[in-house]
Amino acid sequence: MKKFIAIISLFSLLLASCEKNNEVTPLKTLGKATVTFDAVFGTQDFSINKDFMSGSKTYNFTKFRYWVTNLILVDTKGEEYNVPNSYFLIEETAAVPVQDGAFTYPATKRETIQLNDIPIGDYQAIKFSIGIESKYNDNLSLQIGELSQLNGMTNVSWMWMTSYIFSSIGGKVTDGNATKNILVETGLNTNYKSVLLNLPTPLLVGSNKNAAIILTTDVSKAIDGIDLIANPVVGASKANLMAQVATNYTSKVFAVKSNQ
Amino acid sequence: MKHQIANRWSAFILLSAILITTSSCKKEEVVIADEILHPVKLEVPANFPKFVDDPDNPLTKEGIELGRLLFYDTRLSGNNTLSCGSCHRQAIAFSDGIALNNNGVSGKTLPRHSPTLINLAWTTNGLFWDGGSTNLESQAFAPITNADEMHQNLMELEFELKQVPDYVKRFKQVFNVDVKSAAIVKALAQFQRSLVSADSRYDQYIRKENNISLSTEELMGLNIVNEKCKRCHSGELFTDNNYHNNGLDSNFSNADHEGLYQGRYRVTFNPSDLGKFKTPTLRNVLLTAPYMHDGRFKTIDEVLTHYGNGIKPSATTDHLLYQNQGKLGISLSATEKSAIVAFLKTLTDEKFITNKKFKNPF
């Protein structure tokens, strides 16, 4: 029996390794879509190294990064399509020193996810989660999608506790004479939360058309309710504040701007 | 009959596979027999609990062997001088013999004592003294990358190992990937799960092997341990794999170093976990001095003295330690202490510390 299984595995391995050589024609029932996470700060377009006013505070950010995972498209019949391997790092960041500066992750702006092989149909809602579910968060050796130890969304102090940083906002805040360097992060398993957004009109995914959803991601809402002068570092030792930030991500950070 | 059918099927499929191979991708080489992995069923002694293998990283002979090479390879450290084996020495049951060592790349003294690596295949309730890591795979990233330990850059590590053709071949064979950090930690975890210590005199006595008997004093010690220590150092693993405040300190307000001195609280943020640390196994305990999460007790006698009259009270001090007519402490006479030490000696496993399969291959 073992031999049998071994041979089957061998067979599938060979098939898999041959794929490159075969011209696979795409099935007509599949289409493409992009999902864009357009970062904003309130009504303004978000950018790093730029001042944003909010009440008496002025913020200037160096990074805004978060994991979008387990993307689901819900069609007008209510049926769900789970996008496979959907673990995407969405970010606008200056260069990130990784492992206390042992190497550097380059400055990056990435707001769009390309989805291929979506079953054609009319979709009325999009669901996704912010962060990494416990299976992967607790075990760094299980890698899927874009999960990696090399992009600065894990670090030693986090590894001593759990593994991935789900979301990270860094920069500084000034209020009157006070200036603080800020770092607002989530990453506990309980911070893993999903977002459901209904689309104003159905998204039509066809075989000849690249459908697009554009969302806004409001950084000001992510830190809403947190006094970053009093608590400039929201991390593992401030579990309550982390929970509040995680709830902000699930309840008010994301909105649908348009879809076509 | 079934077997025959299976054989016929396999012959058919093999034939098709060969046909496809030869027709569509002639460049591919047929996988040769010795590259097939050999699953390992961990030899679980009769007196041990069941071992449940990790379906995401099942033990194989080749995986364990790759893990052993990596465990002893100094390429895993930033300055190529330290391996895992530098602070986990087989001769002393994979402990380091130092309270708080400063052997790391930075030369700074570490805030916690190197734990032993014994029967980790059953350590399923968290690793590190506070249980901060959930599995051996993720755990390995911390000592490898920490600036005060091996301080290796993961990109550099992958690059360095890729220069060694034998490693490239082994990673391909075992995990079917190029040299990748996720596979490095998987192999290390496999090797560590193979570190089973179950052949002490005590084990042979319990399993009625080789006509081993324990002396009157050793048996007396066994009885005292059963009565007074076993609720934490429980079962045949001699640990409940749980976390207790054994009264080393009474004040846990120092939150420095991300709560390092607060015990399991830094992981759970539950006030009832303040000052709790993991129960270490008593197996090979006489080889693994000094003791406690910070190595503060130099000898086993100091440990027994602590449990006798050194336990400090606090809100989270374990209620199991109120053994002295409702007061803190485990009262032990000098004779009882000697008997306990005599018994603990029977938990030393010579085969474990000399087993060639666990040795440095370099």
Domain CATH number, residue B231: 1.10.760.10
Instruction: Please give the average per-residue pLDDT across B193-206, as a whole number.
Output: 97
Average pLDDT, chain B: 90
B323 φ, ψ (degrees, to nearest 5): -105, 5
**Are B210 and B176 members of one domain?**
no
Q: Euclidean distance between the first and final Cα of chain B, in Å?
A: 49
> Is B133 within 8 Å of A160 when comparing Cβ atoms?
yes
Over residues A102-135, the pLDDT tens digits come to 788 999 999 999 999 999 999 999 999 999 999 9
Separation in Å, CA of B132 to nearest CA in chain A: 4
B154 to chain A, any CB pair closer than 8 A? The answer is yes
What is the per-residue pLDDT across B277-336, written as a single tens digit (0 to 9) for each? 999 999 999 999 999 999 999 999 999 999 999 999 999 999 999 998 889 999 999 999
Give me the pLDDT at residue B359, please: 97
- Assess B57–A contact: CB distance below 8 Å, yes or no: yes
Contact (CB<8Å) A237/B255: yes
Interchain contact, B134 vs A18, CB within 8 Å: no
Residues B215, B342, single domain; the answer is yes
DSSP readout, B130-178? T--BSSHHHHHHHHHH-TTTT---HHHHHHHHHT-HHHHHHHHHHHSSS
B14 lies in some domain:
no
Say whether B137 and A140 touch across the interface (CB within 8 A): yes
By DSSP bridging, strand A51-54 and strand A254-259 are unpaired
Sketch the domain layout of chain A as residue ranges: 25-259
Q: How far apart are CA A51 and CA A18, in angstroms?
A: 53
Chain B hits for A239, CB-CB cut-off 8 Å, are: 269
CA distances for B62 relative to A9, B217, B235, angstroms: 18, 44, 31
Prediction pTM value? 0.83
Q: Which residues of B168-200 are buried (b: 16+ CB within 10 A; e: fewer)?
A: eebbebbbeeebbbbbbbbbbbbbbbbbbbbbb
Contact A139 B145 (CB under 8 A): no
Domain end: B145, B167, B197, which one? B197
Buried b or exposed e, range A103-129, using 16+ CB within 10 angstroms: eebeeeeebebebeebebbebbbbebb
Q: Kindly state whether residues B80 and B103 are assigned to the same domain.
A: yes
**Would you say B240 and B251 are in contact if contact means Cβ atoms under 8 Å apart?**
no
Compare B1 and B110 and report the one with higher pLDDT: B110
Partner-chain residue, chosen from A1, A4, A159, that has the shortest CB–CB distance to B141? A159
Residue type, position B50, single letter:
K
> Cα(A90)–Cα(A132) distance, rounded to whole angstroms?
13
- Residues in A closer than 8 angstroms to B259, CB to CB, are 237
Burial class (CB in 10 A: 0-12, 13-18, 19+), A205: buried
- A150 CB neighbours in chain B (<8 A) are 154-155, 181
CB of B28 less than 8 A from some CB of A: yes
Provide the pLDDT for residue B118: 98
Asked if B277 and B208 sit in the same domain, the reply is: yes
Which pLDDT score is estimated for B235? 96
Residues B326 and B187 reside in one and the same domain: no
Q: How far is B98 from chain A (nearest CA, A)?
A: 21
Judge: A4–B155 Cβ closer than 8 Å, yes or no. Answer: no
3-state class (DSSP) for residue B203: helix
Residues of chain A neighbouring B41 (CB-CB closer than 8 A): none
CB B315 within 8 A of CB B253: no
- Token pair, residue B72, equals 């002893």
pLDDT at A23: 54
Q: In the predicted model, is pLDDT for residue B127 greater than 50?
A: yes
pLDDT at B14 over 50: no
β partners of residue A158: none
Here the ipTM equals 0.75
Residue B239 tokens, joined: 């640990």
How far apart (Å, rounded) are the C-alpha atoms in residues B83 and A2? 37
Is B215 in the A-facing interface, judged by CB distances under 8 Å? no
Is the separation of the CB atoms in A24 and A17 below 8 Å? Answer: no
Neighbour-count burial for B298-334, b at 16+ CB within 10 Å, e otherwise: eebeebbebbbebbeeeebbbeebebeeeebbbebee
Q: Which helix (H) or strand (E) holds A220?
A: helix A219-222
* Other beta carbons within 10 Å of B4: 8
- The reply to whether B334 and B259 lie within a common domain is yes
The whole-angstrom distance between A246's CA and the closest CA on chain B is: 17
Same domain, B182 and B207: no
Domain limits for position B316 = 201-351
Interface of A with B (CB under 8 A): 1, 3-4, 6-8, 10-11, 13-15, 17-18, 21-22, 99-100, 102-103, 138-143, 149-150, 154, 156-157, 159-163, 236-237, 239
8 Å CB contact between B287 and B293:
no
Low-confidence ranges of chain A (pLDDT < 70): 1-28, 155-162
Q: Do the domain assignments include residue B210?
A: yes
**Is there a contact between A123 and A205 (Cβ–Cβ < 8 Å)?**
yes
**Segments of B167-222 assigned E as strands:** none
Which DSSP state fits B262? Answer: G
What integer is the mean pLDDT of B189-215?
97
Interface touch A159/B145, C-beta < 8 Å: yes
- Integer-rounded Cα radius of gyration of chain B: 24
Residues B269 and B295 placed together within one structural domain of the fold: yes
Interface of B with A in 111-140 (CB under 8 A): 128, 132-135, 137-138
Q: Over 80: is that where the pLDDT of B61 sits?
A: yes
Q: What is the pLDDT of residue B353?
A: 98
Residues ≥6 apart with Cβ < 8 Å to B94: B88, B116, B117, B118, B195
B15 inside domain: no
Structure tokens at A256: 């649908």
Residue B182 sits at the chain A interface (C-beta within 8 Å): yes
**B120 and B246 part of one domain:** no
Token match 């893993």: residue?
A: A192
Contact A149 B17 (CB under 8 A): no
Segment B139-168, tens digit of pLDDT: 999 999 888 999 999 989 999 999 999 999
Number of domains in chain B: 2
Closest-CA residue of chain B to A135: B134
**How many angstroms separate the CA atoms of A182 and B89, rounded?**
42
Q: Searching chain A, which residue's CA lies closest to the CA of residue B188?
A: A141
Confidence (pLDDT) at A244:
97
Tokens encoding B53: 């293998």
Instruction: Kindly state the percentage of chain B with pLDDT values over 70.
Output: 90
B-interface mutation test, from A140, A143, A147, most B Cβ less than 10 A away: A140
What pLDDT is recorded for position A86?
A: 96
Are β-strands A30-41 and A210-218 bridged in parallel, bridged antiparallel, or unpaired?
Answer: parallel
Do residues B188 and B216 both lie within one domain? no
Six-digit token pair at A82? 């789970």
Q: Which residue of A has its CA nearest to B33?
A: A6
Q: Do B138 and A163 touch (CB under 8 A)?
A: yes
Gap between the Cα atoms of B294 and B287, Å rounded: 17
Q: Give residues with Cβ within 8 angstroms of B262, minimum separation 6.
A: B252, B254, B255, B274, B275
- Contact of B29 with chain A, judged by CB distance below 8 Å, is answered with no
Last residue of a domain, one of B154, B175, B197: B197
Closest CA to A160 of B140, B80, B239: B140
State the pairing for strand pair A233-234/A30-41.
Answer: unpaired
pLDDT for residue B10: 46
